[in-house]
């Protein structure tokens, strides 16, 4: 679990600072490719290349936690070709980036339900998590077959099982208890959620965790997103007044 100084939680009175945890909905790959007359997967490959630049930018910006939405529980509705291409891209990305991520002191975790993912991909995910488990630099979390509602439902099922087994009393279930059952249990809540491509919706991403996040909906398509743009958004976040339901004192 992160210690109190590492949770990114700010109080109503603390001084403004950059976000400790940035979460990104990487949208717009398909439109980026279509604008170039190329298939959608071309855009996903270009998007994957952007991930490295953004991960590498985090330490200098004070971003300790980066969570990226790679594949949602709803993305299975896409064509078989696109889904298979994305799964292949994830396998290739993990195999290709494993050494570099480990060497750059990045700790990688995956969130989401693995049940629909293929065995080869799951093995690579396990390897990447294991290989980077001792790292304490940027905490990169990749949401793969992730949906916020699905996560809460799976968490509730486990919590209900603990109640049935007598490990937890119903009267002890509160706002502190439920997050311990979420996929993100070891992560602080996101401070800043960014969505690229001009869409202003959250699409089932980190529903519980983002209750008090600041949002940035920007027009840039994900394959055009840059470290400079991340820096701009982090700076702008630092100028915001987060009150967490309280009032400024």
Residue 32 beta carbon to ligand FPP: minimum distance, rounded to whole angstroms: 7
Residue 139 within binding range of ligand FPP, rule CB under 6 A: no
CA distances, 196 to each of 27, 29, 187, 233 (Å): 5, 10, 23, 12
Residue 42 within binding range of ligand FPP, rule CB under 6 A: no
Per the annotation, the verdict on 191 as an active-site residue is: no
Q: Which of 2, 9, 18, 31 binds ligand FPP (CB under 6 A)?
A: 31
Q: Which of 24, 70, 159, 187 binds ligand FPP (CB under 6 A)?
A: 70
Indicate the residue among 29 and 209 with the shorter CB distance to ligand FPP.
Answer: 29
Per the annotation, the verdict on 172 as an active-site residue is: no
- ∠ CA 19-131-1, nearest 5°, is 45
Residue 47 within binding range of ligand FPP, rule CB under 6 A: yes
Q: At 29, give phi and psi (nearest 5°).
A: -60, -45
Residue 93 within binding range of ligand FPP, rule CB under 6 A: yes
Buried b (16+ CB within 10 A) or exposed e, 79-103: eeebeebbbebbbebbeebbeebbe
Residue 28 within binding range of ligand FPP, rule CB under 6 A: yes
Count Cα atoms within 13 angstroms, Cβ side, for 202. Answer: 18
Q: Which of 20, 44, 107, 109 binds ligand FPP (CB under 6 A)?
A: 44
* 74 marked as part of a ligand binding site: yes
- State the catalytic residue, choosing from 3, 6, 75, 135: 75
Residue closest to 181 by CA, chosen among 208, 213, 204 = 208
């Amino acid at each position: 679990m992160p210690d109190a100084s590492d949770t990114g939680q700010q109080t109503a009175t603390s001084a403004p600072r950059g976000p400790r945890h940035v979460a990104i909905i990487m949208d717009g790959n398909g439109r980026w490719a279509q604008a170039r007359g190329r298939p959608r997967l071309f855009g996903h490959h270009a998007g994957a290349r952007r991930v490295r630049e953004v991960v590498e930018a985090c330490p200098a910006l004070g971003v300790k936690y980066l969570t990226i939405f790679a594949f949602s529980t709803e993305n299975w509705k896409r064509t078989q070709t696109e889904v298979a291409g994305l799964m292949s891209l994830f396998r290739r990305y993990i195999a290709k980036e494993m050494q570099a991520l480990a060497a750059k002191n990045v700790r990688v975790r995956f969130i989401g339900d693995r049940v629909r993912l293929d065995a080869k991909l799951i093995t690579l995910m396990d390897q990447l998590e294991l290989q980077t488990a001792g790292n304490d630099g940027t905490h990169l979390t990749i949401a793969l077959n992730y949906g916020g509602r699905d996560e809460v439902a799976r968490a509730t099922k486990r919590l209900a099982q603990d109640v049935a087994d007598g490990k937890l009393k119903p009267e002890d279930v509160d706002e502190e208890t439920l997050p311990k059952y979420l996929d993100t249990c070891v992560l602080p809540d996101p401070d800043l959620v960014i969505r690229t491509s001009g869409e202003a919706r959250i699409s089932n991403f980190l529903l519980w965790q983002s209750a008090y996040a600041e949002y940035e909906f920007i027009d840039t398509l994900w394959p055009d997103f840059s470290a400079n743009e991340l820096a701009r958004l982090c700076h702008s976040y630092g100028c915001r007044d987060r009150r967490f339901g309280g009032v400024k004192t």
